[in-house]
Amino acid sequence: MAKEGLTAFAAVNRYFEEAAGLVHLDDALYAVLTSTYREISVQIPVRLDDGRLIVARGYRVQHNGARGPYKGGIRYHPTANLEEVRALSALMTWKTALLGLPFGGAKGGIEVDPTGMSTGELQRMTKRFTSAIAHILGVYRDIPAPDMNTNAQTMAWMMDAYSAVHGYSPAIVTGKPLDLGGAPGREAATGRGVVYVLEAYAAQHGMDLAGLRLAIQGFGNVGSWVAREAVARGAVVVAVSDVAGGVRHDKGVDVDRLVAVAAAGGRVPETDQPGVDKISNDELLEAECDVLVPAALGEVIDGDNAARVRASVVVEAANYPVTPAGDKVLGDRGIPVVPDILANAGGVTGSYFEWTQNIQQFTWKEDRFNDELRDRLRAAYQATAATAAELGCTLRQAAFAIGIRKVAEADRLRGYV
Ligand code: NAD
C-alpha cells in the first residue's frame, strides 16, 4: 500500500510524529520507535493440488517488544508486502500499549491471493510459513492471531506446526477453534469491541445506539460482528459491502440474511432482500449515515473521497483505513474519527484473554470474557477522550500519545535506550 506519496509505514509514522510532538518525546527514542526491531522475509513453496508449484513470500515483522511478547495477526492478501506489514506491526505496538495489555507489536502476512486455494493448499502453505518463522515465535516471544483471510482453522494449523517441534503449545497462537484452546467470545471480540467503543463514544455525546444508522464496509469476521452487535442494540445497518460490492436499504438491510448468505459462501450483493439497492464500495463510503465503519482494507478514505463522506463519525474497525490526508479533511470538516488502535482493539484484548487462559489452563465463561472486554474498551475510550481534552487534540493523537508514553517508559526502564 502506498497512497498520496506515503507508504503505509510512513503514514503510520506520520500519525506517530503528530502525537510524539504533543508528549515531547525524547529524540533518541524517536528513532527507535519509528523503526522496527526485527523483520523476516521467507520463501514459501506450495505444491498445488494439480501438481504445479507456486512460490509465495511471507513476512513477520516485530516492531517493539518492550512491554511484552510481540503480538499481531497474520494476513493472506496480494498487497501484504513488507511495508504494509511494518505499518500494521507498529499499529499493534500502540494498540497493545493503549489498552495496557502486556504485549508488544508485530504483524505477519503472506503476499498471496488465497481466493480459490483448496483447504489442502492453504494448510500446506500455512504450515510451511509457520516452520519458516518458528524460530522467532514463542509463547513468551511472539504470538500470532488471525487477520484478513485467515481464521481459527489457520491458527489450528499454525499451532500444530509449532507444537510438532516444541510440544503441545496452545498459547503460541490466539483465535484458535474452541476445541483446541480457543476462548468463547474471541471470534466475535473485534466486532463486538467496535460496538462497545461506539457505545462509549455515544454515551459521551449523549447519544443512544438505538436508531443510529451505520454503513459498514467489509462483511468478514469484523464487519459481520459489528453489524450483528449493533443491530442487537437497536441500531440500523443502512449499507454494507464486501469485495464484490454492496447493498443499501434506508430502513435497514437484513443482517441475519446477510450472515446466512456469507456462511453459505455467498457475497453481500447476492442477498435477495426485497427493496435493497445495489451499490459499489465507493458509494458505500459516501453513503448517508450516522456512523461509517470501514471494516475491510486499509487506505480506503483518502484526501479525495473524505470530502464526500456523509457520516457524523468514522469508526475505524479496519487497520489504517484513513490516510493522513483523509484524516485532515475529515478533521477540517468536523467529522471525528475513532482510531483503529482504539476501535478494533477488542481483537487483541480478546486474544490476551485467550492467551492467559491457555497459560493458566483455566477456561472462562463467555459472559466473563465479554464483561472484561467491555470494561477495558470503555476505560480505554474514556482515557483517550480525557487525553484529547487535556492535550487539545484529536482522538487519534490522544490514543497514540497514551501508547507512546507507555512504550517510551518501558524502553527507558529496561535500559534499551
Ligand atoms: P476477513 O477476511 O474476515 O474479512 C474481510 C472483508 O473485507 C470481507 O468481507 C471481504 O470481502 C472484504 N473486502 C476485501 N477486499 C475488499 C475490497 N477491496 N473492498 C471492500 N471490501 C473488501 O477479515 P477481518 O478479520 O474481518 O479483517 C477486516 C479488517 O479488520 C482488517 O483491516 C483487519 O486488519 C482488521 N482487524 C481484524 C481483527 C480480527 O480479529 N480479525 C482485529 C483487528 C483488526
- Cα gap 239→256, rounded to integer Å: 14
**Integer Cα distance of 408 and 22 in angstroms:** 14
What is the rounded CA–CA span in Å between residue 157 and residue 339? 32
24 burial (CB, 10 Å; 0-12 / 13-18 / 19+) is exposed
Cell of 54: 507456486
Residue whose CB lies within 8 A of the most ligand 1 atoms, among 71, 91, 226, 243, for a mutation test? 243
**Sheet of strand 213-217: strand arrangement:** 277-279, 245-248, 236-242, 213-217, 291-294, 313-315, 337-338
Instruction: Please give the single-letter amino acid code of residue 288.
Output: E
Burial of 390 (0-12, 13-18, 19+ CB in 10 A): exposed
Instruction: Look at ligand 1, atom 28, and give the residue with the nearest C-alpha.
Output: 296
Ligand 1 atom having least distance to the Cα of 189: 40
pLDDT at 84: 96
CA distance 395 to 278: 33
Q: If you take atom 40 of ligand 1, which residue's CA is the nearest one?
A: 347
CA atoms of 222 and 193, how far apart (whole Å): 9
Look at residue 1 in the predicted model and tell me its pLDDT.
60
Compute the distance from residue 245 Cα to the ligand 1 centre, in Å. 14
Q: What is the C-alpha separation between 375 and 266, in angstroms, rounded? A: 35
Contact predicate 49/121, CB 8 Å: yes
Q: Which segments within 271-326 are labelled E, that is strand?
A: 277-279, 291-294, 313-315
C-alpha cell at 8: 503505509
Nearest atom in ligand 1 to the alpha carbon of residue 267 is 11
pLDDT number for residue 60: 98
| pLDDT number for residue 303 | 97
Say how many Å lie between the CA of residue 318 and the centre of ligand 1: 7
Q: How far is the CA of 26 from the centre of ligand 1 (A)?
A: 36
pLDDT of residue 381: 98
Each residue's pLDDT expressed in tens, for the chain with a length of 417 residues: 678 999 999 999 999 999 999 999 988 899 999 999 999 999 999 999 999 999 999 999 999 999 999 999 999 999 999 999 999 999 999 999 999 999 999 999 999 999 999 999 999 999 999 999 999 999 999 999 999 999 999 999 999 999 999 999 999 999 999 999 999 999 999 999 999 999 999 999 999 999 999 999 999 999 999 999 999 999 999 999 999 999 999 999 999 999 999 999 999 999 989 999 999 999 999 999 999 999 999 999 999 999 999 999 999 999 999 999 999 999 999 999 999 999 999 999 999 999 999 999 999 999 999 999 999 999 999 999 999 999 999 999 999 999 999 999 999 999 998
Alpha helices in 246-323 (DSSP H): 255-263, 281-285
CB 31 within 8 A of CB 64: no
- Among 12, 174, 190, 279, name the best residue to mutate to test ligand 1's pocket (greatest count of ligand atoms within 8 A of Cβ): 190
Ligand 1: distance of its center to the CA of 410 in Å?
Answer: 32
Distance 191 CA to ligand 1 centre (A): 11
217 pairs with which residues across the strands?
241, 294
Q: Which residue has the cell 445506539?
A: 209
Q: 253: closest CA among 267, 268, 243?
A: 268
Sign of the four-CA dihedral 168, 170, 171, 173: positive
Q: Which residues contact 265 (CB under 8 A, 6 or more apart)?
A: none
Q: Show the ligand 1 pocket: residues with CB < 6 angstroms.
A: 146-149, 190, 217-223, 241-243, 281, 295-297, 317-319, 344, 347
**What is the structure's pLDDT at 171?**
98
Determine whether 71 is an active site residue.
no
131-138 CB contacts, 8 Å cutoff, 24+ apart? 131/161, 131/165, 132/42, 132/43, 132/44, 132/58, 133/40, 133/42, 133/58, 133/60, 133/108, 134/161, 134/162, 134/165, 134/166, 136/38, 136/40, 136/60, 136/62, 137/60, 137/162, 137/172, 138/69, 138/172
